[in-house]
Amino acid sequence: MDRRCRICGNTHSNEEFRIREMMFGSGQDYMYFQCSHCRCLQIADVPVDMLEHYPDNYYSMKPENPLVFWLKCHWMSYSAFGRNPIGLLASRVYGRHEVCDWMRIATLRRDSHILDIGCGGGALLRKLAAIGFSKTEGLDKYIEEEGDVGGVTIWKREVSQLVSVYDFILLYYSLEHMDDHLQVLKDIHARLKPGKQVVIKIPVIDKYAWRTYGTNWMHLDAPRHFYIHSEKSMELLARAAGFHVAQIVYGSNASQFWGSEQYKEDVHLTDERSYAVDPSRSMFSKKRIREFSRLASKLNVEGDGDLASFYLHKP
């Protein structure tokens, strides 16, 4: 008997896949299945203890290098407001930060009340605060304790336990780590002001990277990613929670290629030979990375990138 899709309820012709843990290199297999109707890929059984899969060196919890933090603040400031020479130079390397899309599409303002769900150590929130956004809060159930972190309040609780109502809610590579997506979005709907938007950036299934690499695709990230949505499954989920999808912006990068190529060769993300750890010891030349970046940009324009921001509007 086919497993039941937790997004649309379909039980027919769902395809199973075994996917390896490859961030830390345990190589352990986890069973996933893809719904034949809404196309959402989802873990068959959520592990009982997920904390063991988020060690102290997990990237969102690690402190950021002060110089990198400083540079990224200038980059974000230029993307949001312009008139920043250092940020202009950084943008020539990094491209445009999506904060400019948040301001344009979701009408984000400096005085908007912002909530970042799944914020980790709060690095993104602290950057937003540093460039002039005055009301920023975060939520992450995996932090040790809630409180003030670098001038930003981070809550260790469920969305349903919050009391404030927000102008802008951000889930930046976090929804895929959560179970019961419909309930999560319903809780977010209750905490968002009418006429405002939530922005959800996630990996997207059935794009070039999945078609090319299959179970070696880097952004599967088993078992931490419980769901990898399709455009269709996100549309169904948003509608069921009371939202409508106002816009989809693709923002993938070269990692979908170098990460997946590494995984094909059994080089995990934190391996000393990984491009993420030491580019000089990796299997990729600078020219090859530039080629990956150009291809990623092309796929984003074509709507075939593997990472996308879904702008959900609350009427």
DSSP codes, 128-139? HHHTT--EEEEE
Closest CA to 8 of 210, 176, 198, 239: 239
Question: What per-residue confidence (pLDDT) applies to 142?
Answer: 80
3-state secondary structure of 152: strand
Is residue 241 a contact partner of residue 159, using CB atoms and an 8 Å limit? no
Q: Specify whether the backbone of 42 is left (phi greater than 0), alpha (psi in -120 to 50) or beta.
A: beta
Q: Which helix (H) or strand (E) holds 117?
A: strand 113-117
Q: What digits encode the pLDDT tens for the residues 18-58?
A: 999 999 999 899 999 999 999 999 999 999 888 788 877 78
Q: What digits encode the pLDDT tens for the residues 91-135?
A: 998 889 999 999 999 999 999 999 999 998 899 999 999 999 999
What secondary structure, in 3-state letters, does 59-82 show? Answer: HHHCCCCHHHHHHHHHHHHHHHHC
Is residue 82 domain-resident? yes
Is residue 278 domain-resident? no
Residue 195, amino acid = G
Domain total in the chain: 1
E strands, 222-270, in order: 227-228, 244-250
Residues 6+ apart with CB under 8 A from 66: none
Is residue 71 domain-resident? yes
**Rounded CA separation 155/147 (Å):** 7
Question: What per-residue confidence (pLDDT) applies to 57?
Answer: 74
Question: What per-residue confidence (pLDDT) applies to 59?
Answer: 77
Is residue 305 domain-resident? no
Is residue 155 domain-resident? yes
Backbone angles phi, psi at 83, to 5 degrees: 55, 50
Question: What per-residue confidence (pLDDT) applies to 148?
Answer: 86
Is residue 140 domain-resident? yes
Is residue 167 domain-resident? yes
Encoded tokens for 1: 């008997």
Q: What is the mean pLDDT of each run of 10 residues along the chain (315 residues)?
A: 89 96 93 97 92 78 86 96 94 91 95 95 93 94 84 92 96 95 97 97 98 98 97 98 97 97 96 96 96 97 98 98
Domain that residue 108 falls in: 56-178
**Rounded CA separation 244/71 (Å):** 35
Is residue 146 domain-resident? yes
